[in-house]
Structures are given as structure tokens and as C-alpha cells.
Structure 1
Amino acid sequence: MTPSPVRQSLVRRARRVRETAVRLARPLTEALVTGTPDPARPRSRRLTPRVPRALGLLPFQRIDLVLLGDLALTCILFGGGLSYLQTEAAAAHSLLDQEGLMFAALAFSLPLALRNRWPLAAWRSAFLLLPLGTVVSRQFLHEVPYTATGPIMYTLVVYAVAVRCERHITVGVWILSVLSAWVIHPASTVLVTGVVTVSVLFGHNVRARRLAAGLLAREERRSERAQAAQAALEERARIARELHDVVAHHMSVIAIQAEAVPLQAAGDARRLEEGLKEIRALSLAAMTEMRRVLGVLREEDGSTDTAPQPGLGRLEELVDTARSAGLDVTLKLVGDLIGLPTAVSLSAYRIAQESLSNAMRHAPGSTVSLKIARYGAELHVQVTNSAGYRSPESPESSGQPRHMGHGLIGMRERVAVLGGRLWVGPTGTGFAVTAILPITEDS
């Protein structure tokens, strides 16, 4: 049987009322029973000094000055409150015994000793003990049924709750505090509400600032990890560029030499042996330079190859290697090339090396013009090669040579890192590479 529309409406309203009551009761329930505070923040070393050697037999190694301060203030409030209660009880000729006065003094001070480690437990004990203490003190304190030590203790406890607990728990503490003040002494409700509100707002502001500082610290750590990962990626890209340049150049020379040596020897064992020795020397040079590039990757024992990277000082060696592979290379140096920044010298060397390697692969036997000139704060690298020769069945036997590939990408990246400019492309029947690298102190 389907319920009537009126009954369905009543059920929906009852459900909304129940959900609203649960939401309203949640702060109060968590404040009184189920709520838990956040873990205490680690204290600085200034607030937790080491125990002096003279007190080395103590079961702890550090002294928590904040906890020590709370305990000292608790003793002061207890002593002051007990003295005041005794004076007022004697003046009013009260028949209360010493135990009752001590209980009231403890009720107005003891929860303060718990606020450092257990802020919610401290507030709950204060919420229960304060009314019980006023039952004792009300017998001879007629205007205000508690001593000044009670508000001091309660304000500090509420502040600790606001600093260490979530907002809805703090709201529940505030509501219950106002209701308790109204029940204990309605005349001071406004004053108590104001004091508790200031304490809650101040504690919540401290909590918000600490949370913001924690989030900022986590973001900084995340940013540092991201920067470290980015640096690792950039280092891998740099190693990949270096390896490409080293392998492409030396393997091209070795391949051409291996093809040309048997033809040049023409059965002469001595010439064949000399050619093989030259190939071996080129192979060892390639392996040495690869070890140098990979030296940035540390071994397990932390050792690394710190040999210097090649620069323009090795241009003659580079040109001789290209000539031995069959290229007709003309080298021209203009300006003062001594004392260039390491990054500029290395990039210029690698650009020249990659250009010669491309000429070996795509235009063997070509004429290459290599010019490196310094004009003021710029270093110009110009490499131009002719078409060279190819066998009729070669895919590059007609038209202009293909120089496109990862080598040119590496060139562009090197030039971009230094903030320079690069032009590559065919020129006539050959190919040309022109790079302009700025010379700065940061290079």
C-alpha cells in the first residue's frame, strides 16, 4: 500500500529535523565525549633543553619548559586560590573544613596541568570541576561564586583546545562554556562569553597560522622534490645529448674507416695493419670520451670521473679525425678563443663535431668549411659542406643530403640553453649550420 502524500511529507520533514539535530549535536558530542585533539607539535630545542649532568639520574633526557610552566602556574593558582578561600571562609564564619576548601582550590586550578598533553581532557575536567567547586565556594562567596583563579585556568584551557582541535569541536566547547556560565552565574554570562570568545578566536587564529605554515612547508618540500626530479631529467637529457654526439661522431668515423681501409690496403698487409691500428685508436678514444660523459653517474662507492669535457682546444684533433675519414676540411679561427666559458666552448665543439659527423654520414668525401669566430660577446660557429658523393643505389644519391635527425635537435637544445641562435638547412647542393652563442660570465 502506497503511503499518502501527507504521510510522505511528514516523513521527509521528520528526517530533515533528525538530520539537523544530529548536525547540531555533533559539536557538543565530540566536545564532551568522542572528540580527539591533534598531535602536539614538536617543540624547538630552546623550549626543550637537555637535563644538566648533575640531574642525569632523571628518567627523561630533556626538560619541557612549557609543561614545566603549566605545572608551576597550576601550583601558583592552587596556592593563591586556597589562601583566598581560607580568608573568605574565615571572614564569613563558614563551617567548611580544610578538605572542602582544598577541593575548591583544586577545581579552579588542577585542569591547567593537563592542557599541554591532553587539552580536551583538561577542558572536560574543568567543565565538570568548576560547577562542583562553585557549590563549595558559593557558601561564603555570594557575589561571584568562584575565585579569580578559575577564569584564568579556564581561559588557558579553552585556548589550548582551540589550538589543537578542529573547528566544530571548538564551537561545541564555546557553546557549552556559555551555557555553563549562564547556569552557574547568570550575571557574569556576558563577561564570560566575551572572555571565552576572545580565547577561542585567538587560539583558532594560531591554529590556522600553524596549519598554513605546515601546508607551506609541505609545498616547499614537494617543490624541492619536483625541482630535483626536473634537474635529474635535465641531467639525463644532457647526458643523452653528449652520448649522441660522441657515439655519432666516432662511430661514423670508424664505419667509414672500416670500409675504406681494405680498399686502400689493396692486399698490402702493412697498410691494412696500420688502418686497423687507426680504427682501434678511434675506438679507444670513443670509449674514453663515453666514460668521461658517463662519469657524472656516481658509482656505489661515490667515485666519479672528473676529467674535463672537450672544448675548442681539441678542434685540430677533431679536424684530423674528419680528414682521416675522407672529408676535405678547412679550419678557420678568428678572434681570441682563449678563456671562453666552459659551456660555450663545449657547445661550440659539439656543434662542430655533429656537423662533421653529418657530413661523413650524408655527404662522404665532401669539402667542409669550418669557421669559428669571436665577435665581441658572441661566438659564431659556421660549418658548410658540399654535396659529396654517393653510389647510384644510395637513397641520397640525388638531391640534397638529408641532415635531419636527433643531432640537430641536440644542437638546438644546446644553443637554446645558452640563449643563442641557430640556423640549419641546405645551401646550394650542400648543407650549412650556423650557430651564434652569447659569451657571458654565467655560461
Structure 2
Amino acid sequence: MPSPPAPRARLRPLARLARALGATVWTGRAGPPHPRPRWLEPRVPEFLSLLPFRTIDLVFVADLVLAFFLAQIDSIGFSLTTASVIPLVLVLRTRWPLAAWRLSAVLSLLATGTDGGDVPVTAETGVVYLLTVYAVAVRCERHIILGVWMISSAGLWVIGIVFASDVPGVTLIGIALVTVTVLFGYNVQARRTAAGRLAEEKQRSEQALAGQAVLEERARIAREMHDVVAHHMSVITIQAEAVPLKAQGDARLLEEGLGEIRTLSLAAMTEMRRVLGVLRDGEGRTDTAPQPGLGRLEELAATARTAGLTVTLKLGADLLGLPTAVSLSAYRIVQESLSNAMRHAPGSAVTVKISRSGDELNIHVSDDGGDRAAAEAAKAGRGKHTGHGLIGMRERAAMLGGSVWAGPTGKGFAVTAILPIMEEA
């Protein structure tokens, strides 16, 4: 048989109820107000710009109007006590809802049965009390809201017994009104809280998207700069090493070699300016000079030949009219492949094959590895790490929905890429 609950466990619900009632009557505090919709808090017109506030709280204005109206009714024929306290309750309702409810509860007890009618609570006192209950339900925690409902229901039940109202069901009607007000106010609070959390999630999502956009832009800049700098610097480095050996003291040959290095340096600077010009624009459309494409492969091959490579181009006949993104990515993949050949297989023979097959562009770049020592160095170097160049090639292909394969073939190395051809919007 299950053991009976311990005495402390039986007392826990009573302790929670006592804490809830204590917070409701004395220690509890309301939460911060929720932002009002714009139509409830419009901006002050320009001709009233000298006022100390910038917006008009229409809810507070309505409370003041209602307070004035009810005070006028009380001053005519009801209670001077309610006439003096009702405006204070409505003024406190917006900023200190729990304090306003406490004051309203005391006011309701003092005004009970003073008008001599069948209903023990006056209409104006009941309206003010329900407004304070609504304010509490909108701003306070659940245990305080429950305490307000319990105290209100118990108070109405006691009033109905003490004054023995002649109106049937008046106590039940009062409890029902309080219950509906509590449920409505709590529903408004839940909706405003959910809207606030949704706004926070949206803000966090926008910040995350902005951070992701920054990282993507950094990756884009790094990829473009790597393709430009790595290729041209590889050619310039090889030329700088080869020119003194080729000249062997001949001033004319040395001058020609330095002239070639200067030409390559100017070409690298020009392309870097072109790349930066495109990267500064969010959509890449404001640069006056076109980005390189397959139409400049002959120029790219000529530059690689000055660095000692033997480059053979085998291009298909239907490569004209490709989308700009596809043509640029294909150019960069070939450029990076030639740069790798310069670094890892100097003096090698490189074959570049590009053909179009339906809606795909096929790219294949392979080298023979040069001499045996260079081929072994290429295999060792390329086998240990992929490097940023191969990563950049794969990223470019992935952006278009394509793929890249790279690896050693015999003594040399080969890169194969397939890029889907998608027409630009």
C-alpha cells in the first residue's frame, strides 16, 4: 500500500496559498508595462511640441475622463468618499495596478450598502473595481492574479450573505464578472508576452542573419583576393627567380625580365582594384569593368607560360553566352589550378579542357608533374593538406550547385569541376 503523504507535503498547498494571498495583499509587485500599440499612444502634434512629453497615453486620458464623470455622479447624490477616492484609483491603475486594486477593494468595502438600494455595491464602484482587476491581470504574475480572484470572489460572497441582497443571483453575477475580467486580462497578458518574445526572437534572428552575412562576405573577399593574389604573386615570384638566371649579367635581358615583372604587377593591381570595386557593392553590379571570364583564358594561359608552364587550351565551341557567375567561377578554378601547378610542378605541361554538356559546364585541368622531383614534391605537398585554393574552388562550385574533385594522377595532379549552367534572373 502506498505510504500516506508526510505532514509537510500536506501543508505545502496551504503554504503556497498563504504566500499567494500575502503577495496579493501586501508584498506583491506588478511587472513592467507592455508597450502599447501606436494607435493607443500617438505622438504629440507639432504645435504642442513644447509639452514635456512626446506621446499621449489614450488609456490614461480615458481613465481621467471616466474619473471626472464618476466623481460628478457621486457628488450629486452618492458618497463623498467614493467621489474623492475614485479619481485616485484610476490614476494609479496604469502605473501601480496592484496598489490601485488594494485601494479599490477598501473603497468597495466602505461604499457597500451606502446607497440603500437592492444591490450592495454601487455601479461606479463596481466599474472601477473591475478596471483595477483587469489591470492586475494584465501586469501581475499568475499567483497574484489567482489571489485577486479568490479575494474578490470571497468578498462578494460575504457581502451577499451579510446584506442579504433582494436581487437573485447578484453574488453569482459579480463573481462571474470578476472571473471574466481576470480571464480576459490574463489572455491579453499572454498575447502581449508572446508578441514580445516573438519580437525578441525576430531581432535575434536578424542579428544572426547579419552576422552570417558578414562571415559570408568575409569568405567572399578572402576567396576573391586569394585567387587574384596567389596567381599573380606565384607568377611574379617565379619570374623574379628566373630573370637573373636567364640574364646572366646581360643588362638588356635583365631589363626585359624586370619589365615583364612590372607588367605582371600592374595587371595584378588592376585586377585587385576590379575585385574590390565589385565587393564594395552588395549586389556586385556597380563596377564599370567586367569581371574576368572564359573569354580571358588565352590571356591567363599566356601569363602562366611566362612562368615556365606549357599550357594547352582545349575549349568547346559553345562556351559563349554563359551566365556571368558560371564564367567567373570557371575562370577562377582554372586560374587556381594553374597557380597550383606553378607552385608544386614548375615547368610542367598543363592541359585545360572545358566543354559544355547540356546544362553543365565540365572543366578538367591536369599537369604532368614536370620532372620527377617536382612530381614527388607535388604529391607530398598536395597530399598533406588541401590548402585554401582547393577550398575556394569547392566553395565556388557549391554556390552554383556544382562540385569539384582534385587529386594526384600518375606523376601529376588533376582538377575536375562540374558547374550547372543556370540562367541569370
Q: TM-score scaled to structure 2, two decimals?
A: 0.85
**Matched-pair contact (CA < 8 Å) for 1:78–1:110:** no
Q: Which residue identity does 1:114 align to in structure 2?
A: L
* Higher alpha-carbon deviation: 111-120 or 63-72: 111-120
Aligned partner (choices 176, 184, 196) of residue 151 of structure 2: 176
Q: Secondary structure at the match of 2:208?
A: helix
2:32 aligned with 1:39 = yes
Question: By how many angstroms is 1:423 displaced?
Answer: 2.7
Q: Secondary structure at the match of 1:136?
A: coil
Q: Which residue identity does 1:153 align to in structure 2?
A: V
Q: Deviations along 1:141-169, whole A, 9 cap, x unmatched?
A: 2x222222222222222111101111111
Q: Secondary structure at the match of 1:206?
A: helix
Aligned partner (choices 95, 109, 129) of residue 131 of structure 1: 109
Distance 1:321 1:103 in 2: 98
**Matched-pair contact (CA < 8 Å) for 1:115–1:160:** yes
Distance 1:398 1:51 in 2: 74
Distance 1:34 1:308 in 2: 72
Q: Which residue identity does 2:102 align to in structure 1?
A: R
**Matched-pair contact (CA < 8 Å) for 2:71–2:82:** no
1:68 is aligned to 61
Distance 2:338 2:298 in 1: 13
What is the 5 A alignment of 1:237-256?
237-256=219-238
Q: TM-score scaled to structure 1, two decimals?
A: 0.82
**Gap change, CA 1:28 and 1:398, over 3 Å in 2:** closer
Q: Deviations along 1:78-102, whole A, 9 cap, x unmatched?
A: 344555xx3xxxxxxxxxxxxx723
**Gap change, CA 1:16 and 1:133, over 3 Å in 2:** same
**Matched-pair contact (CA < 8 Å) for 1:109–1:153:** no
**Gap change, CA 1:395 and 1:163, over 3 Å in 2:** same
**Matched-pair contact (CA < 8 Å) for 2:230–2:339:** yes
Q: Deviations along 1:383-419, whole A, 9 cap, x unmatched?
A: 122231255xx68269798476222222112111110
What is the 5 A alignment of 1:252-401?
252-293=234-275, 308-389=290-371, 396=376
In the alignment, structure 1 segments of 5+ residues that lack a partner are 1-11, 87-99, 299-303
Work out the number of aligned pairs and report it: 406
Distance 2:46 2:350 in 1: 80
Aligned partner (choices 189, 207, 211) of residue 229 of structure 1: 211
2:186 is aligned to 204
Q: Which residue identity does 1:236 align to in structure 2?
A: R
What is the 5 A alignment of 1:10-89?
13=7, 21-52=14-45, 58-80=51-73, 86=77
Q: Secondary structure at the match of 1:46?
A: helix
1:155 is aligned to 130
Question: By how many angstroms is 1:19 displaced?
Answer: 5.9
2:386 aligned with 1:405 = yes
Q: Which residue identity does 1:36 align to in structure 2?
A: R
Q: Secondary structure at the match of 2:314?
A: strand
Give RMSD over aligned pairs.
3.0
Distance 2:424 2:171 in 1: 69
**Matched-pair contact (CA < 8 Å) for 1:81–1:147:** no
Q: Secondary structure at the match of 2:110?
A: helix
In the alignment, structure 2 segments of 5+ residues that lack a partner are 1-5, 281-285
**Gap change, CA 1:209 and 1:335, over 3 Å in 2:** farther
* Higher alpha-carbon deviation: 225-234 or 285-294: 285-294
2:100 is aligned to 122
**Matched-pair contact (CA < 8 Å) for 2:369–2:375:** no
Distance 1:71 1:389 in 2: 95
* Higher alpha-carbon deviation: 278-287 or 127-136: 278-287
Question: By how many angstroms is 1:249 displaced?
Answer: 1.4
Q: Secondary structure at the match of 2:38?
A: coil
Distance 1:56 1:278 in 2: 70
Q: Which residue identity does 2:324 align to in structure 1?
A: T
Distance 1:124 1:399 in 2: 84
Question: By how many angstroms is 1:321 displaced?
Answer: 0.5
2:160 is aligned to 185
Question: By how many angstroms is 1:118 displaced?
Answer: 2.2
Identity among equivalent positions (%) equals 62
Distance 2:83 2:379 in 1: 104
